[in-house]
Amino acid sequence: MCGILFSLTTSDNAPNIEQWETLKKINIKRGPDSQQTQTIEVSNHLLQFYSTVLHLRGHNNVPQPVYENGNILCWNGEIFDGLSISLEENDTSALMQRLTTVDPNDPTTLLDVFSQIEGPFAFVYWQEQSKRLWFGRDCLGRRSLLWCRNEDSFLLSSTAKPNEPLEWQEVPANGIYSIQLNNDTTFSEPFEPIFKVNQIPVQLYPWLQKEEKPKLPLPFPRLNPEVPELDTELLDSHDQLPELDERVQQAIHDFTNILDDAVKRRTADILFIDSIHSRPRVAVLFSGGLDCICLAALAHRHLPLSEPIDLLNVAFENPRAQNAKQQKQKSENSNSNNNNTTVYNTPDRITGRNSVQELRKIAPERTWHFVEINVPYSEAMTYRNHIIDLMYPLDTVMDLSIAMALWFASRGKGEIDVNGAYESYESHARVLISGLGADEQLGGYSRHREAFRHGGWERLISEVNNDHFFSNMICAETCYQMNIDTTRCRSDIL
C-alpha cells in the first residue's frame, strides 16, 4: 500500500504547517521506499500533492506523485487485470500513460479507464488540460481514503489522527469525484453538486450497473440474483454430496480458477527484500478455517518450493475466561506463558494446529511456519489506544476486535515449533493474505443457513445482499500500515 495526502486551499490560505507535517509523518508509515511533494497554483488556488510509496512490483521503484506534462497522479492500488499490464511492469506508470491519452474534454474517457481496473485502489489525479481534479476509490472501497471538508480548505489523506481540530470522514466508495478549477470551462451537462469547496462545486460520477448506461459502470454485477435449480432436501444430507448438473459444475470450476488466478497475481511476482531468497515473502492470516486453508494451499501452487510460507495465528489472553476455568480446576501451568499452556488454547489456535497438519500432508515438500502469536492481556491493553488511533474514523467494538487481531498478526512476532521445542520467530513477509469477507460473500454464517432453511434461495440471496463487510476491509488496511516500516508488508483481502 502507499500513502496519499492532498490539500486544496486558496493561494493566500496555505494549510496549517503543523497539521500538514503530522499528516505527512503518518503517511510515511504506509510508504517507506520513497516520498515526495508536488505543488501547483491554479486560478488563485494552491494544490499540494504528497505521496509515499511501498515498492512491491516492477524492477524500478517509481516515486510519487507521478508528474507528466502537467498531469499529477497519486496512486494507492494494484491493477491485477482489466488494463493490459505485464507482471513486471509498474502499474502506476502504466496507469499514468493511459490517463494522459484520454480526451480532456470528455470525462467519460477518463472514467472508462478506472471502470476497467480490476483491483483495489484509491487515487488523486490532476488533469492539466481540463484543469480538473479527480479522486475516488474502487467500488468495493478496498483502499483507504479520507476527506476533511472545511469552508476554506479541502484535504484528502490515506490516514489521519483523531483528537485533532480536523474532522475526517471516509470518502464514500460510491463513485469518482471531480472538482473543476477552470472558471472558463462549462460542464457538458447539468448536475447537483455534492458539496462545495471554496464555492467550487464537487461533482460525483456514481458507480452504476451497466444496464443503466452509466458513465462509470461497475466492473461486475452486485450479486447474482438467479435462483438455482437444486433439490434443497439434499443439502440436509451429511452422508452424500448432491449430484450437480453441468451448469453448477462449470460454476464451481470457474470459481476455483478465478480464485487461483487471484492468489497467483498477488504472490507470483513479489520483490525479495534482500539477497536471502529463502525468507518467506508471503504470509496467510491463519485461523484454521476453510477460507484461509484454501488460500494457503493456492499460494503453495505459485511460490518456489524452497520458500517457506508463514501462517500467522493470533490468540489473546482472556483473564475472565481463565479465572473462571481456574475456579473449576487448578491448572499446573496457570502461571506460564509458554505455548503449551491452556491460556492461549483458543478455538482458532486449536483449529489452526489441526489445519496446518492437513497442509503438511497435502504439501509435505513445503516448509509451513505455523507462527503462534500469543498476546498477553497487558500487552493488548498497552497497544489498544495506538490501534484505536489507526482505526480512525472507524470506532465500533467490532472494528476494534478485528483491528486488534490484524495489528498483532501483521506485526508477525511469535513462536514456531522446531522439532518439538518452541523458538522465537518474526515474520518478514511482504504480503499478507486474508480471507476476510469470505463468509459474508459465500454465505458461511449460521444466519445464512437459517435464511435458506426458512425462506429458500430467495431469502438467502437477500441475506447475502444485505451484508456489509467493506468497512472491515478498510479497518484491515489501516491497521497493517503501522507495521510496514518493520515488516514492509501489504495486505490483500481475497
CB 352 within 8 A of CB 290: no
Tell me, rounded to whole angstroms, the distance of Cα 374 from its chain centroid: 24
Place of cell 492532498: 6
Cα–Cα distance for residue pair 418/396, rounded to 1 Å: 39
Measure the CA angle with vertex 364, ends 363 and 368; round to 5°.
Answer: 80
Q: Which residues contact 159 (CB under 8 A, 6 or more apart)?
A: 3, 26, 27, 29, 30, 144, 146, 390, 478, 481
Establish whether 2 is a catalytic residue. yes
Instruction: Indicate which residue of 2, 292, 479, 489 is catalytic.
Output: 2
Closest by Cα among 402, 381, 374 to 470: 402
Residue 388: how many CA atoms within 13 Å on its side-chain side? 11
Q: Which residues contact 347 (CB under 8 A, 6 or more apart)?
A: none
CB 212 within 8 A of CB 118: no
Q: What is the chain's Cα-based Rg? A: 24
Q: Which residues are catalytic?
A: 2
